[in-house]
Amino acid sequence: MQVEAYDGPLLEVSDLSVTFRRRGQRDVHAVTGVSFTVEAGEVVGLVGESGCGKSVTALAITGLLPPRGVEVTGSARFAGAELLTMDPKQRRDLRGRDIAMVFQDPISSLNPVVPIGVQVAEVLIRHRHQSRTVAQREAAQLLDRVGIPDPNRRLKEYPHQLSGGMRQRALIAMAIACQPRLLIADEPTTALDVTIQAQILELLKELVRELNTALIMITHDLGVVAGMCDRINVLYAGKVVETAARRPLFAAPHHPYTVGLLNSIPRLDAPRGERLHPIPGSVRDLLPWPEGCAYAPRCTRRVEQCLAGTPELIPAPDGRNYRCVNPDLERAGVPA
Amino acid sequence: MTAEPTQQDPTQHPTQDAVDSGASRGLSTQPRPPGPFGQRRAERIDRLAELAATPPDERGESLTRETFKRLRRSPMAIAGSVVIAIFVVIALVGPLLTPPPAWLSFLPLYGPTAEVGLDQIRPGHIPGNSADHWFGLDHLGRDVLSRMLFGARTTLLVGVVATMIGFTVGAAIGGLAGAANALGGRVGRWLDTTLMRGIDMLLAMPPLLLAFSVAAVLGRSLLAVMIAVGVAAVPFFARLLRGSMIAQAHRDYVLAASSLGVRRPQIVLGHVLPNSLAPVIVQATLTLATAIIEAAGLSFLGLGNPDSRTPEWGTMLAQAQNQLSVRPELAIYPAVAIIITALGFTLLGEAMREALDPKLRR
């Protein structure tokens, strides 16, 4: 591709909307007007509860949403090339080579009846047009690179013979096989236990630094984001409600939803016996955006004005944007 | 207006199909075939396809491995395997012993067409079992045991070839339909619908009737019996493999593979198909049993192999009809042999199906 001369952002998503249409049922607006950019080598977080549109955003960008019953509008430009209208064949060439994804559940994302080595080599054969033997050799190096001990033995093993952490490492190996310029990690640590989570995050950080890959981190865990992301987009009900660089976001979250997410993380330094602080209600209790702020029904800072139509994204001096008519400005200084 | 069905499980396709309980579990959203027969059978086939699509349990063992572990503990599977093993040995060795080689000439076995006891046959009298003829003689004075042993080979051949015909043609149609439906876009779904409506038409017909019609058209020969029985098995295999493939196509590893740019033909052949075959293999075992019974049925009704040089249990049963009042054993021997053999395959097949069913796992 003739993208070398391009000097804009690596990925520029603007006004992306995804609507699921079903005959006889109301349309589901999974994502509405989401915009963000990712620079080369940057780590960007997409944060929010289950059902807020994080994964759908990622699937829409990569063109992995099923063609039936889904309407995707807006634009997603990868190195200047529009992904949403791209020819599916061309997009398939791009996937795995320039854009790769790591999924949440490593056991179901690996084919149970195909050895690990074959699955890793498959990507190399597909995009690098390598022979089977060369691809297998490189697959061993890749497994070694992602910290799987004794890679030559592991190549011949099946997914069920690996531990959860190793499976996720193998998936990451598949994703970085062609040194993609953009890696999308969709809740890569959710299915793993805490110690392994830390290792996988460390591995991702390392890879991003070494390969100069941009990373989109999709997670509901602000703890994950705090350690990794340069810029964070908080999503609620398919819209960005706050976007900020890491420090300002954690130092002074403006949107009550971000505040709620931060408060709901259990703290080790809290007094013993103190209750956790969940956000009341669930994502299902939302208001349709056109009628007001979708978060209003769960919000502790709700005012009359919240129900007067969709709040605009308000830019703040520190480079952040937030979508709230009654932001939590006094809370500046909340410890992250 | 809510966004709730978007992603409880973020790795799952929040598609129309996934929301639809049928498609996400690998069932057809298409209308069911007409008629109570076709419908009940179609449901059973779909259930089998669905079973294999259920993710492996938390131990993370592969489905095949787990299944074999359970099979080893199942008395049903062991009994079935033993019966099948004995049957196969007889089918392979039997023709070599009829007539027996010189060093085994003490065995009272003869060629399948040798009318060794013709002089002992009189109207209204057929001699029973004796030291020279353990299972007695038939109406032409041929040794029944020899013919039974030889017939085992023909029966096995018919069963295996018919099942292979059904498997190959059915899997080809079902595989094509499944691949087209799951990954083929608009044209693919059209192709799938066309193929499967044809299959549904076959499925609506009772299999034995279908086999009769085919055999009647093809004429009387061993090959005709095989083709007739095979054709009757085609719709089962086709529907099963299609359902199984569609179920697999909605699994995460297919999404993961396509997220890495793997081409669709490679996804179908390298990922979806290998994972879809387990229920089809189970069905093949069960089909072997019905194929043997159906072949015997065709022979019994006179559509079978007319060549007396290759005796077949069903033909023997048909010929024994006329001697039923004189020598009922002539019918009993092949009938019992057919029943035991079919039972063996059914036992193993059912045990395999149960082993595959996570609901029955402990």
Q: Shortest Cα distance from A51 to chain B (angstroms)?
A: 5
Burial of A76 (0-12, 13-18, 19+ CB in 10 A): buried
b/e per residue, A240-269, with b = 16+ CB within 10 A?
A: bbbbbebebbbbbbbbbbbbbbbeeeeeee
In tens, the pLDDT along A56-78 reads 999 999 988 887 888 999 999 99
How far does CA A120 lie from the centroid of its chain? 22
Q: Shortest Cα distance from B265 to chain A (angstroms)?
A: 12
Band of pLDDT at residue A216, cut at 50, 70 and 90: very high
Is there a contact between B2 and A28 if contact means CB atoms under 8 Å apart?
yes
In tens, the pLDDT along A76-115 reads 999 889 999 899 889 989 998 999 999 888 888 998 888 8
Measured distance CA(A330)–CA(A35) in Å, rounded: 27
A160 pLDDT above the threshold of 90: no
Q: Which residues have a Cβ under 8 Å from the Cβ of A186 and sit 6 or more positions away?
A: A54, A55, A58, A101, A102, A103, A104, A218, B10, B11
Identify the closest residue of chain B to A29 by CA–CA distance.
Answer: B3
Q: Which residue has the tokens 């044809």?
A: B198
Listed range (A6-10, A122-126, A214-218, B8-12) with the worst mean pLDDT: B8-12
Q: Does B54 touch chain A (CB under 8 A)?
A: no
Q: Does B102 touch chain A (CB under 8 A)?
A: no
Measured distance CA(B357)–CA(B73) in Å, rounded: 15
Over pLDDT 90: what percentage of chain A?
29
Q: Which residues have a Cβ under 8 Å from the Cβ of A39 and sit 6 or more positions away?
A: A9, A10, A214
Sign of the CA dihedral running B256, B258, B262, B266:
positive
Helical ranges in A76-230 per DSSP H: 88-94, 106-109, 116-128, 132-145, 151-155, 164-176, 194-211, 222-228
pLDDT at A287: 73
A42 pLDDT above the threshold of 80: yes
Q: How many CB atoms lie within 10 A of CB B133?
A: 23
Cα distances (Å, whole numbers) of residue B317 to B15, B131, B301: 56, 23, 10
CB-nearest partner of B6 from A51, A104, A107: A51
pLDDT at B219: 84
Is there a contact between A108 and B13 if contact means CB atoms under 8 Å apart?
no
Tokens in use for B101? Answer: 């080689």
Over pLDDT 70: what percentage of chain A?
95
pLDDT at B188: 87
CB-nearest partner of B251 from A108, A123, A127: A108
Band of pLDDT at residue A292, cut at 50, 70 and 90: confident
Measured distance CA(B317)–CA(B187) in Å, rounded: 50
Measured distance CA(B99)–CA(B101) in Å, rounded: 7
Listed range (A246-255, A322-331, B246-255) with the worst mean pLDDT: A322-331
- Looking at this protein, which amino acid is placed at residue B151? G
Give me the residues of chain B with pLDDT under 50, please.
1-35, 56-60, 361-362
CB half-sphere exposure, B216, CA atoms < 13 A: 7
- Looking at this protein, which amino acid is placed at residue A237? A
Backbone angles phi, psi at A302, to 5 degrees: -65, 135
Q: Which residues have a Cβ under 8 Å from the Cβ of B357 and sit 6 or more positions away?
A: B51
Backbone angles phi, psi at A286, to 5 degrees: -95, 165
Q: Which residue has the tokens 């004189």?
A: B326
Q: Shortest Cα distance from B31 to chain A (angstroms)?
A: 17
Is there a contact between A160 and B257 if contact means CB atoms under 8 Å apart?
no
Cα distances (Å, whole numbers) of residue A250 to A223, A230, A258, A261, B235: 10, 12, 9, 11, 61
pLDDT at B53: 62
Interface-testing mutation among B9, B12, B181, B253, with chain A (most A C-beta atoms within 10 A):
B253
Q: Which residues have a Cβ under 8 Å from the Cβ of B197 and sit 6 or more positions away?
A: none
Cα distances (Å, whole numbers) of residue B268 to A125, B27, B178, B265: 16, 18, 9, 5
Is there a contact between A95 and B257 if contact means CB atoms under 8 Å apart?
no
Interface-testing mutation among A28, A110, A157, with chain B (most B C-beta atoms within 10 A):
A28
Is there a contact between B261 and A96 if contact means CB atoms under 8 Å apart?
yes
Measured distance CA(B274)–CA(A258) in Å, rounded: 45
pLDDT at A136: 92
